[in-house]
A and B are shown apart, each in its own frame.
Chain A
Amino acid sequence: MNTIIYLDNNATTMVAPEVLEAMLPFFTRRYGNPSSMHDFGGDVEHDMEKARNQVARMLGAEYDYEIVFTSGATESDNMAILGTLQYYRDKKHIITTKVEHPAVLNLCRQLEREGYSVTYVPVDREGNLDVDFLFDSVTDDTAIVSVMYANNETGVIFPVETIGAFCKQRGITFHIDAVQAIGKIPVDVNALQCDLLAISGHKFHAPKGIGVLYVRRGTRLRPLLYGGHQEKARRPGTHNVPGIVGIGKAAELVMQHLSNSEEVANVKRLRDRLENGLLSQLSNAHLNGNKNNRVDNTTNIGFEFIEGEAILLYLNEKGIAASSGSACSSGSLEPSHVLRAMGVTFTSAHGSIRFSLSRYTTEDEIQYTLQVMPEVVNRLLAISPYWDAMNKKGKSMTELAH
């Protein structure tokens, strides 16, 4: 068994050994600049273009040049939204959702300060997007619709294909933040009919610091950065060659993984085993998010009467890494905006834990986590003033909340 049981793969992932191996020569022997006029650099360009092709194939892109390498999904999301607004300067309306990643959400909040109007589409109690609300929000002033493919906290999948068809028909630029979908479910830009799509390498076993913005041929977009001619001047700056080679290799591995139905089913089986085990063993546990319509690696469980950061610290002692939507662990003071948007009560939002698996997660790791969790939860329940109040005095949750 590993020294750390890593169940936080929606935060970041291990670099796959094959990916690391593919990258290493580009730090040592083959450090040339692909833009150089000599073979030492020029040869590297072939490897870079191979990587571009690997990513294009993973996304079902028609042309390799639709793949623009960036520093990560935060840059890709910013480039998609700001680049579109820079082109359609007379349009001042943006549509996104209440549960986006901060890379989109905080950009939109800033744009509001600068005079844009933003519609934040709500979700229901299970985290499903209100698509009709989105459709009704579109006006002639709408410059872009930006929606995530799958939510990072709950794993719930949004109907991006339906939204893509709608936007295409209305002639509105459609951007998808596919960070949490890539590597977990097949992503096909043509089925999605999106104009732009952002992914991040480190969420699918490539290193940190490399991302992609898919830009459909003909999409109107101005660059964020000005400089050299790299990436057809859409994203200037000397290429991060090792990262690019790494994300290419990781894309190839994603395609292998998704075509291996046994391996795909195994991730889901382990996730379900963990989830069902916790829900059946612990009476204060319940699932956050739509059970049936989500990516296979994620489960978000609310533990009532105890606080998420404390759970994480206790798990950490046992060598288990997970994450929480609790206020305390985030550094902000409010619990997760995603759970709040779903209308999850404060009481269970504070005690929510996200476990996110990968194709490297093993049976033993899940088994061990299932052994440890009840102990951790019961230790914290013993400290909690509310657990007692519930049991002995028969107070209801609504009474406790006042």
Chain B
Amino acid sequence: MWEYTDKVKELYTNPKNVGEIPDADVVVEVGSIVCGDALTLYLKLDGDVIVDAKFKTFGCGSAIASSSALTEMIKGKTIAEAARITNKDIVDFLGGLPDQKMHCSVMGQEALEKAIKKIKGETIEDEQEDEGAVICQCFGVTENVIRRVIRENNLATVEDVTNYTKAGGACGSCIPKIEDILKEELASAVAQPAATAMKPMSNIKRMQLVEETIHNVIRPVLMRDGGDIDLVDIEGKKVYVALRRHCAHCVVSDVTMKNLVEDTLKEFVENDIEVIEVK
């Protein structure tokens, strides 16, 4: 028997936001009936605010609870705010999930990510091309998904990867590949810079890159030391951020700002980004 938190029990027993939105602005599906987990997410927007979110889920108790948590978390948020939600936030909202159930929270995040891409008008290409090679054939888990989850959750073992993505959990034949990916990710805890420097960047593109970089590169590093960061605003090339948790009271927070936040953004987004700390 799984050790589910009271919050998980509450949300699978009486899930909130079950159903469809007939005039939804965005509808996305992730997962598949073959894998045993699938989620359809419906969003209703007013400008860039998510005014309603509903879901339908095929899956176990924690999949239902994760879906319900996700919809609760994003209702009333702007798209930019919602984009910052990770699977870890879903897990925190639920007060924790058993290790083997972490993939349920990842499914929630995937649905949200896909929905935001759709809102931004980005074409969701054929998933195989979009997300790189399929590593786990049994559950259709791609290399990019595995890499992202390793980075965002600081995963260190194949078992972790299986718990979060299911990859390697059935026949196990992809485990050597997962080991290789883990080795690479651990070796370069900071990923490759975006190779699209030269062209002048649109505001939208810049905002998006700043968000992604803070989210995928900077935040995990800070969180490893018990810190965190919030993106407060972006004005042209000025990025306003606030350091949170341990970082907020850290005596070397200025160094963190300069060496980590600003330099990383310069590397990944644009060379002349300026970071301003909001206390």
Contact = CB atoms under 8 A, between A and B. Distances in A.
Report whether chain A binds chain B. Answer: yes
A334 B59 contact: no
Contacts of A328: 36, 59-60, 62-63, 101
B163 to A, nearest CB: 9
B228 interface: no
A329 B15 contact: no
Contact of B139 (A306, A329, A333, A350): A333
B29 interface: yes
B100 A383 contact: no
A313 B61 contact: yes
Interface in B134-151: 138-139
B61 A346 contact: no
A388 B61 CA distance: 20
B34 interface: yes
Given A307-B36, A327-B36, A384 B100 contact: no
A401 interface: yes
The interface centre, meaning the residue of B36, B64, B170 with most chain A CB atoms within 10 A of its CB, is B36
Contact of A346 (B36, B64, B100): B36
Select the residue from A309, A384, A385, A401 with max chain B CB neighbours within 10 A: A385
Contacts of A309: 60-61
Interface string A326-365: 1111011111000000000011001000000000000000
A383 B162 contact: no
A329 B33 CA distance: 16
Given A331-B100, A334-B169, A383-B64, A310 B59 contact: yes
A317 B166 CA distance: 28
Contacts, number: 83
Specify the main secondary structure of chain A where it touches its partner. Answer: helix
A69 interface: no
Q: Which of A313, A326, A329 has the most CB of B within 10 A?
A: A313
B58 A384 contact: yes
A282 interface: no
A335 B36 CA distance: 9
Contacts of A310: 12, 59-61, 63-64
A334 B170 contact: yes
Top 3 A-B pairs, shortest CB-CB distance: A333-B169, A328-B60, A309-B60
Interface of B: 12-13, 15, 18, 20, 29, 32-40, 56-64, 100-101, 138-139, 162, 166, 169-170
27 contacts: A305-B58, A306-B58, A307-B59, A307-B60, A310-B59, A310-B61, A314-B13, A326-B36, A328-B36, A328-B59, A328-B62, A328-B63, A328-B101, A331-B100, A332-B169, A333-B139, A335-B36, A346-B33, A350-B33, A383-B15, A383-B58, A385-B38, A385-B40, A385-B56, A385-B58, A386-B38, A386-B58
